[in-house]
Amino acid sequence: MENVFGTPKDAIHIYRNDNSGVAPNPIPGTNVKHRVFYHQHLSAHRFLTGHNLKRMTERFVDFLSEECYQDRSIGEDWIDMPDLFDFWKTRVLCAAVKALFGTWILKLNPSFQEDFWTYVNATPTLMKGIPRFLAPGAYAARDRVFESIKIWHRYASEHSDYKDNGPESKEWDEYWGSSWLKVRQQFARNTGEMSEDAIAAEDTALLFSANANAIFSAIWFLLAIYTDPALEKMVNYEVQNSITQDTAGANKPLALDITGIIDSPLLQSIYAEVLRMRVALVLNRTPDKADYELGGWKFRKGRSITFSTQVAAHNEKAWSVDKPQRVQRPLSQFWAERFLTSTGNGSAEKQFSTDGLAGAWIPYGGGVFMCPGRHFAKQEIMGSVAAFSAYYDLLIPNREAGWMPKEDKRFYGLGAMPPGEKIRFRIRKKSGAPMGPPKHKNSRLRGNWFCD
Mean pLDDT over 107-133 rounds to: 96
pLDDT mean over 6-27: 93
Scanning 48-178, the segments in alpha helix (DSSP H) are 50-70, 84-101, 104-107, 112-127, 136-159
Cα–Cα distance, 63 to 57 (Å, whole number): 10
Query: Which amino acid, residue 444?
Result: R
72-90 pLDDT, tens per residue? 999 999 999 999 999 999 9
Do the beta carbons of residue 77 and residue 430 sit within 8 Å? no
- What's the rounded Cα separation, in Å, for the pair 254 and 92? 16
Chain centroid to CA 159: 28
Residue range 138-151: mean pLDDT, rounded: 96
176, 182 contact by CB (below 8 A): yes
- With a cut of 90, say whether residue 110 has pLDDT above it: yes
Alpha helices per DSSP H over 280-409 = 309-313, 316-320, 374-391
Tell me the Cα Rg of the chain. 22
325's CB contacts (< 8 A; 6+ apart) are: 341
Q: What is the DSSP string of 161-187?
A: -TT--STTS-SEETTTEEHHHHHHHHH
pLDDT, tens digit (0-9, with 9 covering 90-100), for 398-448 = 888 788 999 999 999 999 999 999 999 999 999 888 888 876 554 444 334
- Looking at residue 314, the DSSP 8-state letter turns out to be T
- Total length of the chain: 452
- Residue 104 and residue 216: Cα distance in Å, rounded? 25
Question: Hey, where are the domains in the chain?
Answer: 33-356+373-432
Q: Residue 254, Cβ neighbours under 10 Å: how many?
A: 25
Burial class, 172, CB count within 10 angstroms (exposed 0-12 / middle 13-18 / buried 19+)? buried
C-alpha distances in Å from residue 344, one per residue of 143, 341, 347, 351, 365: 55, 9, 7, 9, 30
212 and 377 Cβ atoms separated by less than 8 Å: no
What is the pLDDT at residue 250?
67
- Please state the rounded mean pLDDT for residues 98-127: 97
Please tell me the distance from the alpha carbon of residue 243 to that of residue 387, in angstroms, as a whole number.
Answer: 10
Q: If one looks up domain 33-356+373-432 in CATH, what number appears?
A: 1.10.630.10
As a whole number of angstroms, the distance between CA 34 and CA 18 comes to: 8
Say what the pTM is: 0.93
Band of residue 246 on the pLDDT scale cut at 50, 70, 90: low
Question: With left for phi above 0 and alpha for psi between -120 and 50, is residue 29 left, alpha or beta?
Answer: left
Single-letter residue type at 172: W
Contact 393, 430 (CB under 8 A): yes
Task: Report whether 451 belongs to an annotated binding site.
Answer: no
Q: Which whole-number Å values give the CA distances from 204 to 119, 144, 179, 191, 211, in the listed order? A: 11, 11, 17, 19, 11
Of all residues in the chain, the percent with pLDDT exceeding 90 is: 81
**pLDDT more than 70, % of the chain:** 96
279 forms beta bridges with 416
